[in-house]
Amino acid sequence: MTTVLILNGPNLNLLGTRRPEVYGTATLADVERLCQREAREAGLEPVFRQSNHEGQLVDWIQEAGIQAAAGDCLGAVFNPGAFTHTSVALHDAIEGVRLPVIEVHISNVLGREEFRHHSWISPVARGTIIGLGIHGYPLCIRALTMTARA
Ligand code: CA2
């Protein structure tokens, strides 16, 4: 079955434990449940990964890129967390593979501090969904199914 990678960056394992005014009360397990349902309806197998380490995220993007080239992976939904605003390495990793990536943010980063307004990921992402809470994740899967095979 074709996979879809759901990739989460640093501190997103803490979702639902603190800062509910910004990130809501749902946990990463709730994100996975929403994605599981959306992926199943699309006939895809979701693969969930979370890491606090930049290099690990680079490795998973490269791995998914190889799978995408073989036709085994449709693309990735990626919340890079704070690496969004700092990581040239993740920018280069996405640019270096033929993997459709949809960037997702739970909060509306454009309505927050200035340092969150710049994303190193957006220029190399197929698209971005921000500010819709955890509902952004299944919407990204839907977006991949509508655009990735094009
Ligand atoms: O809104 C998003 O999804 C972010 O990617 C979340 C990142 C933040 O650095 C980005 O600017 C926007 C932070 C993830 C940390 O999430 C926590 C959740 C609960 C408690 C502590 C951190």
- For ligand 1, is residue 79 a contact (CB within 6 Å)? yes
For 90-116, write each residue's pLDDT tens digit: 999 999 999 999 999 999 999 999 999
Asked whether 39 and 46 are in contact (CB, 8 A), the reply is yes
- Give distance in angstroms: CA of 94 to centre of ligand 1: 20
**pLDDT tier at 148 (50, 70, 90 boundaries)?**
low
pTM here is: 0.97
Closest CA to 85 of 12, 10, 28, 7: 10
Answer yes or no: 23 catalytic: yes
pLDDT over 80 at 32, yes or no: yes
Token readout for 116 is: 């969150």
